[in-house]
Structure 1
Amino acid sequence: MAKSKKLKKTGRRHPLATLALLGIGLIITGGAYAGINQVSATAEVDMTSASTIEEGRKLFAANCGTCHGMNAEGTPNDGPSLIGVGAASVHFQVGTGRMPLAFQGPQGMVKPKQFTEEQTLQMAAYIASLAPGPEIPDSRFLQADGDAARGSELFRINCAMCHNVAAAGGALTQGKFAPSLMGVDAAHIYEAMATGPQNMPVFSDANLTAEDKADIISYLKYIENETSVGGFKLGSLGPVAEGLFIWVIGLGGLVALTVWVTSKSN
């Protein structure tokens, strides 16, 4: 009896034990890697440091100089001059993945970012060193704790004609469009207002103060996180889309139900 117990105790390990240990190791490694990346992504970058500007110059020359010129002076057919666009413009365009362009078209499309936050800030610092321009907004204007009601009024007056009153976006001319603002980072919303990318007008501090922009961001984040009291939003594209849905889906369903009922009676 003692011998059999000893055999059981010193027997072979369960075949799934190796897989379990491997899985635990991968989880720990992945967690540590994600933590390291998060630290580097949120690391403070000195935008005025000579080393930061130099790193940004190298990144720009390797990835942007072909279209925008090696000194950001622009080229005749491919890319405009970036002298004077400011750090905010670079942070918006590169941080949203619009730049570098995937292809030439009516406007740059949002896509996965090609650069880390640190690299984006380095290029922004380089462009900012060439000439004055809109700066990356202070974090106190990005907290979404402003006056959402006032922000709603400002948004309806200045932005809703293109982006829709519910910020769902809308079509423009010649294949262009105003994108949805749902899920957009607060810094990028502020930077878009300050720099006027693509078809958007520039809202300088003379048009909308930093506090005005902060209130608009508060409104957008409010409607983004607030549940719809009217039920399914249908994309928040307005009464035309909702009416079309009722006519096509609602009446179509009634017609299909009528045909089915009459066919069963026959």
Structure 2
Amino acid sequence: MAEKRQLMVHHGHMSDMEASLRYSSAPHRREAILRRIELDGYVAAADLVTELGVSPNTVRRDLRRLAGDGLVRAVHGGAAAADMAATPFTDRSVQASAAKRAIAVAAVRHVEPGTAIALDSGTTTLEIAKLLPSRANLTVITHSLPAIAVLAPRPDITLIGVGGQYSRDTRSFGGPETLAGLEHMSVRTLFLAATSLDGTGVYGATPYEAETKRRLIALARRTIVVGDARKFALNAPIRVCGWDAAELLVTDGVPPGFKDVAVELASPTPA
């Protein structure tokens, strides 16, 4: 993330003992956590342990309480703002399903036979996995468990699954092991998903997710962003990249005046 903000509020010259007493109060700790998330959109549990001077168990209890009260959203390794895309993968997969399939149909037209492609994790990229053409001699690299499950039975595809620490929220692998697994790979085309989109670029939900997306962008010769129009109305805390990193956005709609990257509009087929 950008610069780490210090939670401590100094009143004159506060001693270490005074600071410790300040955050030994659960209400004060939770207020401090909420201020940090309000500023940054996300906070790592490990950072809270250091900054608040409390144990990991105390931080976990505070985050569970805040999440239970609906004030934050629990994510891998910490907590995020409650108003961002908090819907579980299984629920997201049925939202705007017609639009996602139409986007996938348009996106697979950009798959070049005989090349390697990378699929980011997400419900729209899962639709792309389902529609990849047969007998195209493709190599597919992905850290998405649902995409791996879809592609594993296909003998016509060389599948490279990248492991790491599994996130149930995204049904994908992430963390240092995933980044290391991607380090020496190269692909022709990356299909990049997003938690949210705006005029400045692509956003993700957590630092792990954002770092994985950036590594995928670095290994691809071209990046195609895929996401339905609802993504422009959602908020996410971590900026993954600007539009200069993408060649194309495939979507079913953009806000008025959006001219930040080439756009291909996909129209859902009426049922």
TM > 0.5 fold call? no
Name the TM-score, length of structure 2 as normaliser: 0.23
| Between structures 1 and 2, the one with greater helix share | 1
Name the TM-score, length of structure 1 as normaliser: 0.23
| Between structures 1 and 2, the one with greater strand share | 2
Larger radius of gyration: 1
